[in-house]
Amino acid sequence: MKNKVKQFREQFGLTQAQLGQRVNVSRQAINAIEKNKFDPSIWLAYDLAKFFNMTIEELFEFEESERK
């Protein structure tokens, strides 16, 4: 799953730590999401999208699931 978290975080002028504080996760979690090392839970994805005033689909680019 690709995402635009870093792009929007930078547009809002926030550090990873500041964004983490606003959605109640660590700076390390934000860093891992931005580097596609960690897929956020649906709840965290929702909180991030809500913070940026967009939908989850606008913030995260989903790929076909291999679990079908």
Q: Which of 33, 29, 22, 28 is nearest to 60 (CA)?
A: 33
Residue 60 falls within a domain, yes or no? no
Cα–Cα dist 5/3, whole Å = 6
For 46, the enclosing helix (H) or strand (E) is helix 42-51
Residue 38 falls within a domain, yes or no? yes
Domain containing 12 equals 2-55
Write the CATH number for 15: 1.10.260.40
pLDDT along the chain (68 residues), means of 10: 93 98 98 95 97 96 68
- Quote the distance between the C-alpha of residue 29 and its chain's center: 9
Residue 67 falls within a domain, yes or no? no
Total of domains in the chain? 1
pLDDT at 65: 58
pLDDT at 61: 87
Residue 22 falls within a domain, yes or no? yes
pLDDT at 52: 97
First to last CA, the chain: 16
